[in-house]
A and B are shown apart, each in its own frame.
Chain A
Amino acid sequence: MLPKATPREELLINLRAAYARMWVRLRGSNREITGLVAEIGLPILTIGAYVILYRAIGLPPTAGAAVIIGGAMIAFWTNVLWNMSSQWFWERESGNLEMYLVAPVSRMSVLLGMAMGGSVNTSIRALGIVLLGIFVFQVPFQLADPLSIGLVFVLTLVALYTMGMLFASIFMLYGREAWNTANLLQEPVYFLSGAYFPRIYAPVVPFALQAAGSLIPMTIGLDAIRRLAINGEGIATVWPHILALIACTLILFPLARRALNYMESLGKKEGRLTLRWQ
């Protein structure tokens, strides 16, 4: 019988697993330059269309700035959907899932690695989208409190990727449903989060819509970032947002852990963890 690892050894091996998974993600996503260029350039096409639409209906240039930030945040949502939520599906299709399952590490550390790699990768792309958007569309920003923007941004990413970990667990046994569900969660979330609106918490937007949108951490973070970066407001106005983002993380993380254990156990019972081409 193998000797039981001490808590310190266990922590170290899990951190190494997370680092290894992050490294694969960073290396894999950045080795192909066409992908990087497309991931920065493609959102600009949609953002451009909305900026011109705003001009057509007579909105001020700050509305364009709101769309650029929304477009950059959508990059994170897309990453969460396709590179976190659907990841176990891709891994099963390529025959890697069983290797993760027999490795002597927590599956949460693998998900943590994916989340760290994904958030770093997507931050590079989001920065590219914002800079290119500002250059092309010449929209105004007021960065009065960059530290607060940084804080809200990090909290948003943590909450968002924790949601990604929960989705990854739920999607674990999906076959083609993974592809279709990820597709399904794109436009409705763009709509509910108000990514392309000047602001979601406006009186003209029905309360039910605002409440549904607030279940997605991106909606809360996006509104706070817009207030700080476009309206020039201070951290005092976004305290509720910060508390809500922390609450989201504290609720979603244990849920993700429980869901992962449940789905793994269900997959083992039903023999679906190695099933391909569903």
Chain B
Amino acid sequence: MAIIDFVKSAGESFRVGWKIESNWTDPVLFATYQVIRPLASLLIVAFIVIIGASSVGASANSAFYSQYLAWLIVGNAFYAFVLQIMLGMAILVHVDRTRYEVLKNIYISPGTLHPYVIGRGLVSVVNGAVSVILTLLFSVAIFNGLLHMNIPLNLLNVNLLMLLPAVILGIVSLLAIGYMLCAVNIVSNRMEFILGDSVSGIFFLLGGVIFPIALLPSYVQPISNVLPITYLLNAVRESFGLLPTASYMSDLAYLAVTTLVTLIIGIAVFRLAEQRAKKLGLFDRKSEY
């Protein structure tokens, strides 16, 4: 019964979150909004490679650059999950506590905050999934269709049996990190505008999104090796055939372990924050800038 109630509350939270995120405009403009940002991010890195190739006198169609571009497109596309979940969940507590002033009402309702946060996080997951799919489709259309660059990226050849477990585990780990961001914001009122950008920026630099982590200075590579995003992107690229598939099982195992650890820490941190907020009366604290 408790599980049914949890799922029901999370579902309602998802419905509210979806309306807040999408009903500010008409569906066409909303869809455009969902596409333009990730597409622009992708075009930035793609043009860096194209301009880079021309600067060193090579063709962007050469094997190294086209292979690298495919590697980069996939990493950048799936990074949309990180951006959507981190930015969405980092601002959630601030918006509900300070702007709409409903956090206290949600807290005292029977469902508690947990399913609410999960439901709102799932809205970011849906937004992220839409961005990933559209970015991949547009990439193939632009680089292979319009620019005839013959990038080795065939969306019909993706191994879904390899892709889906990695994406599901990756999303769970990102939601757990988002849970931690919510926890930090419950007990703080100064971090909401920088937390999401900070965490997603660290993942962008250290997670192997646009370059292999082997190119990082050796003293920061151990940090990359404990981030779930590193293994998520490795496993995703393996399912796209852009990395040797021999490492897939070990990447998936590392992803499962880092996800489990993140989940445990996420829940523990959230519970601690919840207790502290209750003790100090932080659920209805209002801050203005």
Contacts and interface: CB of A to CB of B under 8 A. Distances in A.
Interface string B205-220: 1000111100110000
Contacts of A196: 44, 48
Contact of A55 (B43, B44, B215): B215
Contact of B56 (A42, A58, A176, A205): A58
Contacts of B209: 49
Contacts of A48: 205
Interface of A: 28, 32, 34-35, 38-39, 42, 45-46, 48-50, 52-60, 63, 90, 93-94, 175-177, 180, 183-184, 186-188, 190-191, 196-199, 202-205, 277-278
Kindly list the 5 A-B residue pairs having the minimum CB-CB distance in the complex, ordered from nearest. Answer: A45-B201, A187-B40, A176-B24, A38-B194, A57-B52
B52 A184 contact: no
B48 A53 contact: yes
B48 A197 contact: yes
B41 interface: yes
B138 interface: no
Nearest to B45: A53
B198 interface: yes
B40 A198 contact: no
Given A46-B204, A49-B205, A57-B53, 15 more contacts: A34-B191, A38-B197, A45-B205, A50-B210, A52-B215, A53-B45, A56-B211, A57-B65, A90-B289, A184-B37, A187-B37, A188-B36, A197-B48, A202-B51, A202-B54
B210 A28 contact: no
B51 A190 contact: no
A52 B209 CA distance: 11
B202 interface: yes
B132 to A, nearest CB: 15
B211 A53 contact: yes
A198 B45 contact: no
A185 to B, nearest CB: 10
Interface in B13-37: 20, 24-25, 33, 36-37
B130 interface: no
Interface residues of B, number: 44
A191 B47 contact: yes
B56 A59 contact: yes
Contact of B52 (A38, A46, A54, A190): A54
Contact of A57 (B44, B68, B99, B191): B68
Nearest to A50: B48
Nearest to B65: A57
28 contacts: A42-B201, A45-B198, A46-B204, A49-B205, A49-B209, A50-B48, A50-B210, A52-B215, A52-B216, A54-B48, A56-B68, A56-B215, A57-B49, A90-B289, A93-B99, A176-B20, A177-B24, A180-B24, A180-B25, A180-B33, A187-B38, A187-B44, A188-B37, A191-B40, A197-B51, A199-B51, A202-B51, A205-B51
B interface SS class: helix
Contacts of A203: 54
B50 interface: yes
Contact of A35 (B25, B65, B194): B194
A160 to B, nearest CB: 19
Contacts of B193: 35
A117 B209 CA distance: 36
A90 B98 CA distance: 12
B113 to A, nearest CB: 21
Contacts of B47: 191, 197, 205
B185 to A, nearest CB: 13
Contacts of B157: none
Contact of A34 (B20, B54, B190, B215): B190
A42 to B, nearest CB: 5
